[in-house]
Amino acid sequence: MLETRDILPFPGGDNSSDTVVGDAHLNLTTLQYWNYTLFSNGTLSNGSWCYLTFQPWAADVVLDNGTFVNGTKCWSPINPIGPRAGIGIGFAVLYGIALCLTIVALNKHGRLYLEVTKRFYPIGRRWQWYWACWTCATALVSLFTVMDVDRYYLPELPIVLTSFFWFLMQLGAVAIVWEAVRHWGSWMERQFIDPDPFALRDDDTRSKIEFYLPLIYYLFWWLNFFLVIPRTWTPIEHQRYPEQIVREAEPAATGVRFKAAAFMLVVCWVLTVFSLRTSIKYYRPRNRGIINRFIGFVRFTPMRFKLLIPLAAVIPAFQAFVAWHFASSPLNVKGHNAAIYAGGYAPALLILYIQIVFGYFNQNEDKELQRQRQERNRQLNQEMGVSQKPTWWARVNGEIVNPNESMRDRLVRNVRELQGNRPRAATDLEDGAVPGADGIGITTTQDGVEMSPLPSPTYQQQQQQRQRESSGTNSFAGSPAPPYVGKSDRRRHERTMQAASGMLFPQSSEALTLAARRRAELTMDGPPAQTLPPPPYPLQDRRSSMQTDGSATGSTNQPPQQIRSMLDV
């Protein structure tokens, strides 16, 4: 864009209806008919269409209907890349690297290792990384379109696009800091209630602040969005000559809406600091006195927020500065590059890389919570005098539990451990069987656990078992019970439990005999033979007992009452 744009007369040509523009002969009558004017900045325009008048971009001929043949419009990228575009490419590379690293951090801190609870949703910890991706994406669009700001001969759409996405990038940067601070408070609360779910109330002042504060923050955040984004951006394009800049572009870029939008971001920054102060107040040791509270606030603020919050303060400050000073504004095509990149793009870039660095060194919250739980369990075991054995202890001492062993094998193994008998290795046995104390062979499994054999019962054994059940006798009389061969899972479970209780709690022969006799009596159809029937009641005794009761005598001697109406009921 040239500094001046004065109206020039059309140069003469071969005749009165001919003019030479850019070493090309054009029809002067047609140009005057379509109201074209020649300007000193090398353009030919009628207010709606604009064409370049210097080689090699000048038109070869103009038709009677006003069409230019091989003409180049004024809004074309014909200039080389300037300083603003060169710096923008460097920042775009840095933002691109930050986008890749942000996705890695999102994958690390957004992954779940514990069950999701209603109080702490996974999206709460991911929002800061979502906004980081938003900031990188909008910054890339803004920085790549800034190249055409320098290359366009006259400003048009590129200056609008780079300014539009620059404001969106600023919104994303302040949202990163807010979500980081808010989630830090949520993480402190989660560590508080993990050992004791009732340590914090749900209806106190703290919970109400944490509920309403995000709503208030995003209210002002959206007010900034609606004050900046939905508006007419056409006046920003009108920077084609100095008079147009002063008359249209500068008033639009320094309007009341931009100034009010900067104030909304200031409120957002104050709410972010207030959120951090609230989290420190409720989740960190309290200090008495104004000076001690300030010292405690600075002391307990994490190092990450000591860097992020000052950088977040630069964003609304710079927006307010450019709302009054158009020369340093990104909306100015010829704005100061140092101010634009140092105040407009550098704070957001630093916020991103600080988040990435701390996200790389910090642990995933679920894993950190697991570590804290293990540490608490270790301390409790130490206080109770319980020593945690290492993982190799069971393997060395032969206490490895076979996942495929049956319930009977587990019961036998537990009984031997209680009795102090260690299982012998299979190599000490001949053919895998050793005669037991009762003459029954004891087999050894592959894992070295001894157990009694469970042979399949024959038909004769099944008949004998049914006869014992029908006659009232049971295995508790002294002989071991054969396995249950029926189809009832409940009966099989009862038999297993009876066998286990018999092995765990052996009874004497007298107790077994008494229990068998009592079970036989309960299963008999009638009373036992030695039990005498109760004596009969004489009829005289029954009558005498009835006469002693006046109510009973009256009821049998008197005639029944005759009901005459419903009132007698």
Q: What span, in angstroms and rounded, lies between the C-alpha atoms of 494 and 481?
A: 12
Domain C-terminal end among 374, 397, 428: 374
Tell me: do 104 and 14 sit in the same domain: no
Backbone angles phi, psi at 184, to 5 degrees: -60, -40
Residue 7: which H helix or E strand, with range? strand 7-8
Query: Beta-carbon neighbour count of residue 160 at 10 Å?
Result: 18
Tell me: do 293 and 329 sit in the same domain: yes
- Which residue do the tokens 């000048």 mark? 58
Q: Per the domain annotation, does 402 fall within a domain?
A: no
Tell me: do 25 and 89 sit in the same domain: no
- Residue 44 CB contacts under 8 Å (≥ 6 apart), including other chains: 21, 31, 36, 37, 38, 50, 51, 52, 53
Q: Per the domain annotation, does 54 fall within a domain?
A: yes
Q: Per the domain annotation, does 430 fall within a domain?
A: no
- Residue 184 CB contacts under 8 Å (≥ 6 apart), including other chains: 276, 279, 302, 305
Tell me: do 254 and 142 sit in the same domain: yes
Tell me: do 88 and 18 sit in the same domain: no
pTM over 0.85: no
| Side-chain-facing half-sphere of 258: CA atoms under 13 Å | 25
Q: What span, in angstroms and rounded, lies between the C-alpha atoms of 496 and 406?
A: 11
Short-list 342, 167, 190, CA closest to 253: 167
Supply the pLDDT for residue 379. 87
Q: Per the domain annotation, does 544 fall within a domain?
A: no
Residue 565: which H helix or E strand, with range? none
Tell me: do 59 and 88 sit in the same domain: no
Tell me: do 43 and 122 sit in the same domain: no
Short-list 135, 127, 131, CA closest to 345: 135
Q: Per the domain annotation, does 51 fall within a domain?
A: yes
Local structure of 398: helix, strand or coil: coil
Supply the pLDDT for residue 221. 96
The residue ranges of the chain whose pLDDT is under 50 are: 1-3, 423-455, 472-479, 531, 539, 541-556, 566-569
Tell me: do 242 and 267 sit in the same domain: yes
Angle at 169 between CA 166 and CA 173, to 5 degrees: 140
Supply the pLDDT for residue 303. 94
Supply the pLDDT for residue 431. 44
Q: What span, in angstroms and rounded, lies between the C-alpha atoms of 80 and 147?
A: 9
Q: Per the domain annotation, does 213 fall within a domain?
A: yes
pLDDT in tens, 183-234: 999 999 999 888 888 888 888 899 999 999 999 999 999 999 999 999 999 9
Structure tokens at 270: 């104050």
Structure tokens at 454: 């469970």
Backbone angles phi, psi at 7, to 5 degrees: -80, 130
Tell me: do 52 and 29 sit in the same domain: yes
Structure tokens at 49: 């269409």
Query: What CA–CA distances, in Å, run from 150 to 86, 116, 325, 455?
Result: 10, 51, 21, 94
Tell me: do 230 and 87 sit in the same domain: yes
CATH number of the domain residue 141 falls in? 1.20.1070
Supply the pLDDT for residue 452. 44
**What single-letter DSSP state applies at residue 255?**
S
Domain C-terminal end among 374, 394, 419: 374
Short-list 141, 158, 163, 157, CA closest to 82: 158
Supply the pLDDT for residue 564. 55
**What single-letter DSSP state applies at residue 427?**
G
Q: How many Å is the Cα radius of gyration of the chain?
A: 47
Query: Beta-carbon neighbour count of residue 80 at 10 Å?
Result: 8
Tell me: do 35 and 96 sit in the same domain: no
- Which residue range forms the structural domain that includes residue 503? 459-517
Supply the pLDDT for residue 562. 58
Tell me: do 238 and 315 sit in the same domain: yes
Q: What span, in angstroms and rounded, lies between the C-alpha atoms of 133 and 179?
A: 13
Q: Per the domain annotation, does 148 fall within a domain?
A: yes
* Range list of β-strands (E), 388-507: 433-435, 441-444, 450-451
- Which residue do the tokens 């060194």 mark? 361
Q: How many domains does the chain have?
A: 3
| Helix ranges restricted to H, 156-249 | 157-193, 205-228, 234-237, 242-244
Q: Per the domain annotation, does 147 fall within a domain?
A: yes
- Residue 214: is the preceding peptide bond cis (ω within 30°)? no
